Amino acid sequence: MNTSRSIIIDTDPGQDDAVAIFLALASDELQVLGITVVAGNVPLELTARNARIVCDLGGRPDIPILAGCDRPLLRPLVTAEDVHGNTGLDGVEIYDPDIQLRDQHAVDFIIETLRSQPSESVTLCPLGPLTNIAVAFKLAPDICARVAEIVLMGGAYFAVGNVTPAAEFNIYVDPEAADIVFRSGVPLTVLPLDATHHVLSNKPRLDALRAIGNRTGQAIADLTSFYERFDRRKYGSEGAPLHDPCVIAYLLKPEIFESRFVNVEIETSSELTRGMTVADWWGVTDRQPNATFAGGADADVFFELLTCKIANLP
Ligand code: BDR
Ligand code: CA
The pLDDT tens digits for 95-115 are: 999 999 999 999 999 999 999
Distance 161 CA to ligand 1 centre (A): 11
**pLDDT over 80 at 48, yes or no:** yes
Most informative mutation of 201, 244, 248 for ligand 1 (most atoms within 8 A of CB) = 244
CATH number of 5-310: 3.90.245.10
Catalytic residue among 84, 197, 198, 243: 243
Distance 158 CA to ligand 2 centre (A): 20
Distance 132 CA to ligand 2 centre (A): 13
Q: Which H or E run contains 53? A: helix 44-57
Q: Quick one: average pLDDT of 173-187?
A: 98
How would you classify the pairing of strands 65-67 and 30-37?
A: parallel
Strand order in the sheet with 5-11: 65-67, 30-37, 5-11, 122-126, 147-153, 188-191, 291-297, 257-262
Across 248-279, b (16+ Cβ under 10 Å) vs e yields bbbbbeeebbebbebbbbbbbeeeebbbbbbb
Quick one: angle between helices 215-235 and 203-211, nearest 10? Answer: 170
How would you classify the pairing of strands 188-191 and 122-126?
A: unpaired
Question: Using CA atoms, how far apart are residues 178 and 267, in angstroms rounded to an integer?
Answer: 9
Structure confidence at residue 1 as a pLDDT band (50, 70, 90) = very low
Residues touching ligand 1 (Cβ under 6 Å) are 14, 16-17, 41, 80, 83, 127-128, 153, 162, 168-170, 243-244
* Nearest ligand by distance to the CA of 195: 1
Atom of ligand 1 nearest to the CA of 15: 6
* Nearest ligand by distance to the CA of 85: 1
Prediction pTM value: 0.97
What residue type is 70 in one-letter code? D
CA 84, chain centre distance (Å): 14
Most informative mutation of 9, 10, 16, 83 for ligand 1 (most atoms within 8 A of CB) = 16
Q: Quick one: average pLDDT of 229-245?
A: 88
Residue 197 falls in the annotated catalytic set: no
Atom of ligand 1 nearest to the CA of 12: 6
**pLDDT over 50 at 206, yes or no:** yes
Residues forming beta bridges with residue 10, ordered by sequence position = 36, 126
Quick one: angle between helices 131-139 and 106-116, nearest 10? Answer: 60
* Domain boundaries defined on the chain: 5-310
Question: Using CA atoms, how far apart are residues 246 and 293, in angstroms rounded to an integer?
Answer: 12
pLDDT in tens, 123-132: 999 999 999 9
